[in-house]
Amino acid sequence: MELIFEGLKKAVILIASFDREVYEVLFLTLEVTMTSTVISSILGVAIGTAIALNEFPGRTIVVGIVNTGMGVPPVVVGLFTTLMLWRGGVFGNYEILYTPLAIIIAQVLIATPMVTGITLSALQQVPKNFHLQILALGASRVQSLFILYRQARLPLLAAIMAGFGSIISEVGAAMMVGGNIKGSTRVLTTATVMETSRGNFDTAIAFGIILLVLSFAVNYFLSYAQQKGRMK
């Protein structure tokens, strides 16, 4: 217990004193996480909508692939991304590996199936005739989509929260494709693991506290929007 309290004390000092390394990791985490969340949300909602509103050969197989993607271990995604970005890989010439962009790519691959699957499920809960009625009343396809999104706004926000949760908590893929390089690709999760392995529990606790606060802040904002929408 003494070790925990001493670690908490030093962690508070590091945070309150605006330790350069701590906040450098925080800002990079914000940049990478927010970018990944936005991209995966756009892709996931778009793909989920396309699957939900269209009938096509092999649709059941596609849905199965999406559902499988929701449960793929992040380290497998990290391995696949590493192979694609490796010097001899398909995208090796672009020298993306061990950069923040590589982490973003891996996190988007992890979160997009999650957002896609929940979006697909949410839109399938809306009666099929509802969409046809909207179109019959003269709404354009774009207008009908906005009406459908409004109808399913609560589970769609849940989809974004799930995507963000899978990104903010991810460590394996980020370490594999980013390399945990100080000042370049070190984010809160990978920094916490590294400092813990070194026995620097005060710094690890500081990173852990910031990670929890960041996660709570974003999820609180999304939950507030979700519950506010529930009242309408």
- CA atoms of 73 and 88, how far apart (whole Å): 24
Long-range contacts of 166-169 (CB under 8 A, 24+ apart): 166/74, 166/110, 166/111, 166/114, 167/33, 167/36, 167/37, 167/40, 167/107, 167/110, 167/111, 168/33, 168/211, 168/214, 168/215, 168/218, 169/215
Kindly report, residue by residue over 90-117, the tens digit of the pLDDT: 998 999 999 999 999 999 999 999 999 9
Do the Cβ atoms of 147 and 73 come closer than 8 Å? no
pLDDT at position 118 is: 95
- CA atoms of 12 and 208, how far apart (whole Å): 11
CATH code of 49's domain = 1.10.3720.10
| Angle subtended at Cα 230 by Cα 170 and Cα 120, rounded to the nearest 5 degrees | 50
Q: How many domains does the chain have?
A: 1
pLDDT at position 175 is: 94
Please tell me what DSSP assigns to residue 94.
G
pLDDT at position 51 is: 94
pLDDT at position 88 is: 85
Domain that holds residue 68: 2-230
Q: Which residues of the chain have pLDDT under 50?
A: none
